[in-house]
Structure 1
Amino acid sequence: MESRDMLVDIIDMVSESHQCSSTYAFASIPYDIKKALKCGTSAMNGYLHPPPQHLRCALSEIKSDPTLCRTPPLQAYLQQIQKSTKHSHHPGHENDKLYASDYIHQDDNKACDSCDSEQQLPRTPRKSTDPVIHYGTIASGNQVIKDAEQRDKLARQYDILCFEIEAAGIMNTIPSLVIRGICDYADSLKNKMWQRYAAATAAAFAKFLLSRVRTHQDSGINS
């Protein structure tokens, strides 16, 4: 994970080509982190229903034209949410720190002021604080991951971009699509600094996606 952007749970699966945007396969997968940690092996289990077709169609349209996510409507939705929600603005690049996978943080829920700076991984600073959309596999589990090495192992094995703990409980009951803003790096450092900004970006993209659903449906009626 290189930055705290947002993720959507659709990935293309056509002719082994990752550039084809016409057909998509559902890519939220359930995992059992307790079993993974106890046995030393990853444990993906169960099945999650795919998102409704109308959401997949709208998402396909957005994904096929990346410029749509840089248009005023998406930014307007985010600004609207930030005006009504305290502490939901970007916390600043100086607070976005990624450490070596084998480094254990000493101050959980802290700003990592006492962490070993030599363990921090160097990264090229981003020029903008605008959120970036990533499309890929989201793993939904039964426990928060606080082990960066386990995170990396599962991510490599299943091509996972994001871990979360809520979607698996509802996706087989309520037709839905997972959108996640990134608030931490699934390592031993868990602070809440990025949570509200992450929630705001995910909510803004959800509103933008729903606006494209209406546009797509209206176009279908008129044609």
Structure 2
Amino acid sequence: MAALILSEVYSEINGKDLLFITTLDSQKAFDVVNHQILLDKLYYLGVDIEYWDVIEDMYNGVTSTVKWQGDTSLSFSIDQGVRQGGILSSHLYKQYINELLSELETHNMGISIGNTYAGCPSCADDIVLLSNDQNEMQEMLNTVYDYSSDHRFLIHPVKSNTIVKSVNKRTSERIQQSTENFTLGDNIMEFKSETTHLGLKRTTSEETKININETVKCMEAT
């Protein structure tokens, strides 16, 4: 659905306007979910207390040890991370990040299709920010940075990318060269010619052709 929303935004602007696209890379997203913050969010969200107790039992008092060359360390507590491959893990992460998406929408940061907000189509930790205004995109990045700091996770400033969609590739490149780079905290985010969101290449031009070629290569390799 998130990929479809981004494609629909493309259709909406149809070369009539600029579109800044920023894909965000959360460092080890599922591994850094703070248990206490997560439990607090679920409690204030109104999750049934019986279900809340089950989730608390899953994550409260978890310990681990390290075995190396025949020796085993003292046990230490595990205070962050949702279980890899767990049925609930992606749902828990969505609740952990949902307030960020709600804040962006509440303040109407990002692009809309008609009266429908479409500024941050996301799927779990795959988040993309969409805006046709340079200053607004920077405000969105500031909001993301503040939220990540409060919730103890990091957005990778190098692996997170911004591209500019315009009428054609030449115009996109000219705008990128004349536009000041965005920042994430104290880190500069350089413009790129392409980025990836949910397995699809998002580029300044010939995007459909590139994705078709990528798909054909994958099919030929199997």
Looking at secondary structure, tell me which structure has more helix per residue.
2
- Normalised to the residue count of structure 1, the TM-score between the two structures is 0.24
- Normalised to the residue count of structure 2, the TM-score between the two structures is 0.24
Q: Give the greater-gyration-radius structure (CA).
A: 2
